[in-house]
């Protein structure tokens, strides 16, 4: 069956000492928390090896991106193999900030996915519409296309390793959350798109996280929806108490 997951996305925040301190704090809090979900932190590349050295196996570790090439003359890039060699087990791919600011297309994301999977990393694959698409009513088609173009080249076995995250771009970092109903409607839609390709069993086993201004005060209502399997948390993942407050939404 699918897992409930709360994953932090630290984005471009914290220096190395700050990041290691935050990871230690989350790790300690998790030890005594009796969490009813898997908990993951996704940190900047520079932090991965150091963070991996100070956390226990109960806390998952992931990167926020990886390169679309395996190795070679790509100055400044970080490969999936490099990420895996730090001990990280997950990688966020297709975050809207990557799509929007760094021109990541579905074609690029397919390369990244293949490399992530080949290196044993579990992708957290993000989809989501912008405000204009929410307002003009095309959001279901937009997200369907992102899922189809990004993921449907995968075999059912490969797809089984993917965690999805629905993050409406208009809700990211804006303090404006989708309503629990809007999240549920989209998650059910995504699950039906997956079922159409891979069958109901695979769809039912896929974890679909919600992301966008998730905080302790709204997580419980959103996570209570049947097709919402947890959250991808940005801003609130940078404060241990807030992040653990969201983890506690599963009880
Ligand atoms: P937010 O970010 O929680 O700060 O809105 C979520 C994300 O972008 O993953």
Residue nearest to atom 6 of ligand 1 (CA): 234
Residue 199 CA, ligand 1 centroid: distance in Å = 30
Domain 5-247 maps to which CATH number in 3.40.1710.10, 3.40.1190.20, 3.20.20.70, 3.40.30.10? 3.20.20.70
pLDDT computed for residue 41 by the predictor: 98
How many Cα atoms within 13 Å fall on the side-chain side of residue 76? 0
* Cα–Cα separations (whole angstroms), residue 149 to 38, 51, 122, 129, 195: 28, 33, 18, 15, 15
Residue 41 CA, ligand 1 centroid: distance in Å = 13
User: pLDDT digits over 169-194, tens only?
Assistant: 999 988 888 999 999 999 999 999 99
DSSP 103: -
pTM exceeds 0.85, yes or no: yes
Residue nearest to atom 7 of ligand 1 (CA): 234
Return phi, psi of residue 62, to 5°. -140, 165
From the CA of 97, give the closest atom in ligand 1.
8
Asked if 214 contacts 231 with a C-beta cutoff of 8 angstroms, the reply is yes
The residues assigned a catalytic role are: 95, 167
The ligand 1 site (C-beta within 6 Å) comprises 9, 167, 172-173, 211-214, 232-236
Residue nearest to atom 1 of ligand 1 (CA): 234
Domain ranges across the chain = 5-247
From the CA of 211, give the closest atom in ligand 1.
6
Residue 51 CA, ligand 1 centroid: distance in Å = 21
pLDDT in 10s for each residue of the chain, 251 residues: 899 999 999 999 999 999 999 999 999 999 999 999 999 999 999 999 999 999 999 999 999 999 999 999 999 999 999 999 999 999 999 999 999 999 999 999 999 999 999 999 999 999 999 999 999 999 999 999 999 999 999 999 999 999 999 999 999 988 888 999 999 999 999 999 999 999 999 999 999 999 999 999 999 999 999 999 999 999 999 999 999 999 999 98
Residue 10 CA, ligand 1 centroid: distance in Å = 9
From the CA of 236, give the closest atom in ligand 1.
3
Of the candidates 152, 153, 77, 88, which has an alpha carbon nearest to the alpha carbon of residue 119? 88
Asked if 23 contacts 248 with a C-beta cutoff of 8 angstroms, the reply is no
């Amino acid at each position: 069956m699918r897992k409930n997951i709360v994953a932090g996305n630290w984005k471009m925040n914290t220096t190395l000492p700050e990041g290691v301190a935050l990871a230690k704090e989350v790790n300690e809090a998790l030890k005594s928390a009796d969490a009813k979900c898997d908990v993951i932190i996704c940190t900047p590349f520079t932090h991965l090896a150091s963070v991996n050295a100070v956390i226990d196996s109960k806390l998952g570790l992931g990167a926020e991106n990886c390169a679309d090439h395996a190795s070679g003359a790509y100055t400044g890039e970080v490969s999936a193999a490099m990420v895996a060699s730090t001990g990280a087990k997950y990688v966020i791919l297709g975050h809207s900030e990557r799509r929007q600011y760094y021109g990541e297309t579905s074609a690029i994301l397919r390369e990244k996915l293949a490399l992530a999977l080949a290196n044993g990393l579990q992708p957290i694959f993000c989809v989501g519409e912008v405000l204009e698409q929410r307002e003009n009513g095309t959001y279901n088609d937009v997200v369907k296309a992102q899922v189809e173009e990004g993921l449907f080249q995968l075999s059912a076995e490969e797809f089984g390793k993917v965690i999805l995250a629905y993050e409406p771009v208009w809700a990211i970092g804006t303090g404006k959350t989708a309503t629990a109903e809007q999240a549920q409607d989209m998650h059910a839609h995504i699950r039906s798109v997956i079922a159409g390709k891979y069958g109901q069993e695979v769809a039912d086993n896929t974890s679909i996280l919600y992301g966008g201004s998730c905080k302790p005060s709204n997580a419980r209502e959103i996570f209570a929806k049947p097709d919402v399997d947890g959250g991808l948390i940005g801003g609130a993942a940078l404060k241990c108490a807030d992040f653990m407050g969201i983890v506690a939404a599963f009880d």
